[in-house]
Amino acid sequence: MAGEGTAQLEDEWSFVRKLAGRLRQENAILIFATLVAAFALIEGIPTGIVFWIWAIALVVALIRPPLVERVVVSSQAAPAPVDPEALLRTVFTGLSALDMPVLIIDREASVLMQNAAAEKAFGGFPIGAHISSKLRSPGLLDMVRETMTTNTPNQIEHSERLPSERVYIVRIAPIDLQRAEVEAGTFFLLSFRDISELRHIDRMRSDFVANASHELRTPLASLRGFIETIQGPAKSDPKAQQRFLGIMFDQTTRMSRLVDDLLSLSRLESKSHIAPDQKVDLVPLLGHVRDSLLPLAGDLDVTINLHVPAGKAEVMGDRDELVQVFENLIENACKYGQEGKSVEVSLLNEPDQAVSVVISDKGPGIPAEHVPRLTERFYRVNVEDSRSKKGTGLGLAIVKHILTRHRARLIVKSEVGKGTDFTVRF
């Protein structure tokens, strides 16, 4: 019962609040009525008539439609004229955050608006100038002209050489502002989808296939040649046959090394997004790698000196993959730095929790122009030198893949005539 009473009281209060609100909205009428009543009193008109003037003003104030409704009705009746450029600007503000270069041009192909990405990519179009002030490709300008006449979207591939080599898919489409007073085909949106990265990956993939087939074809061709010789001219020459079989054995070993490295790379690629989750102590691991390379180092007359701190040096990693990294780097240092006679492998616990392993040789070093490309597949400073040392050109590509998966970096410092340092930083 008490609840019902409260609800009723609230209803009454809300009615009074609404009434007060209405009266506040209509206070111009009430002020006017009060002024008329005051004037009537001064002029000596009887109070009864004054009361009626007031009462009529009050009723008028209450039964008129509310002010807000009146404003809405009047705006529907006469829409405000649209400024097409202002409307475009509002739409374009949303595109300014896009990382794809975008321009709005008019029917004369003059630039009206450009986003920050377009300014950055093309060095800023002068507003009001024809697009040819920055885009000179005849194919692209023809496409723009065609869209202006047909009013249909179009696209073309376009490359820019400056400030850097980039390939874009340029698309043009008429903008429909969905306003009767702005004709479709008054403005056009020109967008530039950057496909340079895709092209680069495509080129790398086809180079890779070409390189891999070339690397396999060379030993295969030599094998075939030796088989033909053994079947023909050397048919009854056991000494020559023995020599040829030795070379054939080396060629098949080279092919299987290459296939192993290719499989390693493909396996690594397939799990590149999974971070390793074992704890690996690098101290015993480096000792194991050094021991496994002692026969090779002995053959090359190189000493491997290992410098590790006392205690552990743990990193998150995959043990087998880390063995592969250090085997590749130390083997390279022994092979390519052979003339320096010694290879230093140092494990450093750095102050910022980082762990570094530096592999230094005192060999001929690597000319600076080759250093940035060393981790590319099949990249070799000297192809013949690499082949003669049983290289496949894939070792450092494998190292880079493994380190990327381990969130570690490979830093190469080399000085021609002095030697090379490969640093792995975890």
Cβ proximity to ligand ADP: between 113 and 286 the closer is 286
Q: In what side-by-side order are the strands of the sheet with 187-194?
A: 111-114, 102-106, 187-194, 166-174, 154-160
CA distance 94 to 100: 12
Given 220, 306, 348, 381, the residue binding ligand ADP (CB under 6 A) = 381
b/e burial code for range 299-323 (CB count within 10 A of at least 16 → b): ebebebebebeeeebebebbeebbb
CA distance 374 to 394: 10
- The window from 46-54, 274-282, 283-291, 394-402 that contacts ligand ADP (CB under 6 A) reads 394-402
Cβ proximity to ligand ADP: between 314 and 376 the closer is 376
How many CA atoms does the CB half-sphere of 29 hold within 13 Å?
A: 19
Lookup: tokens for 255: 């092919």
Lookup: tokens for 326: 């250090």
Return the residues of window 9-68 that contact ligand ADP according to CB under 6 A.
none
CB distance 394 to 386 below 8 Å: no
392 scored as a contact of ligand ADP (CB under 6 A): yes
CA angle 407, 409, 412 (to 5 degrees): 170
101 scored as a contact of ligand ADP (CB under 6 A): no
Of 365, 377, 304, 313, nearest to 334 by C-alpha is 304
User: How many residues interact with ligand ADP (rule CB under 6 A)?
Assistant: 21
- The window from 47-55, 126-134, 228-236, 378-386 that contacts ligand ADP (CB under 6 A) reads 378-386
Contact pattern for ligand ADP over residues 120 through 149, marking x by CB under 6 A: ------------------------------
- Which residues are CB-contacts of 282 (< 8 A; sequence separation ≥ 6)? 308, 313, 314, 315, 322, 347, 355, 357
Question: What beta strand segments (E) does 261-334 contain?
Answer: 278-281, 303-307, 314-317
Return the residues of window 309-348 that contact ligand ADP according to CB under 6 A.
328, 332-333, 336-337
Determine if the peptide bond prior to 163 is cis (ω within 30°): yes
297 scored as a contact of ligand ADP (CB under 6 A): no
Cβ proximity to ligand ADP: between 317 and 391 the closer is 391
Cβ proximity to ligand ADP: between 326 and 336 the closer is 336
Cβ proximity to ligand ADP: between 54 and 379 the closer is 379
Given 382, 388, 411, 418, the residue binding ligand ADP (CB under 6 A) = 382
Given 166, 254, 380, 405, the residue binding ligand ADP (CB under 6 A) = 380
CB distance 243 to 377 below 8 Å: no
- The window from 17-25, 45-53, 267-275, 385-393 that contacts ligand ADP (CB under 6 A) reads 385-393
CA distance 395 to 397: 5
Given 391, 403, 410, 424, the residue binding ligand ADP (CB under 6 A) = 391
Given 33, 111, 325, 396, the residue binding ligand ADP (CB under 6 A) = 396
254 scored as a contact of ligand ADP (CB under 6 A): no
Cβ proximity to ligand ADP: between 134 and 401 the closer is 401
CA distance 167 to 157: 7
- The window from 46-54, 104-112, 189-197, 380-388 that contacts ligand ADP (CB under 6 A) reads 380-388
Return the residues of window 255-274 that contact ligand ADP according to CB under 6 A.
none
- The window from 23-31, 79-87, 215-223, 374-382 that contacts ligand ADP (CB under 6 A) reads 374-382
CA distance 413 to 407: 20
DSSP conformation class of 133: G
Query: What minimum distance in Å lies between the beta carbon of 229 and ligand ADP?
Result: 29
Given 57, 268, 285, 374, the residue binding ligand ADP (CB under 6 A) = 374
Residues that bind ligand ADP (CB under 6 A): 328, 332-333, 336-337, 361, 363, 366, 374, 380-382, 386, 391-397, 420
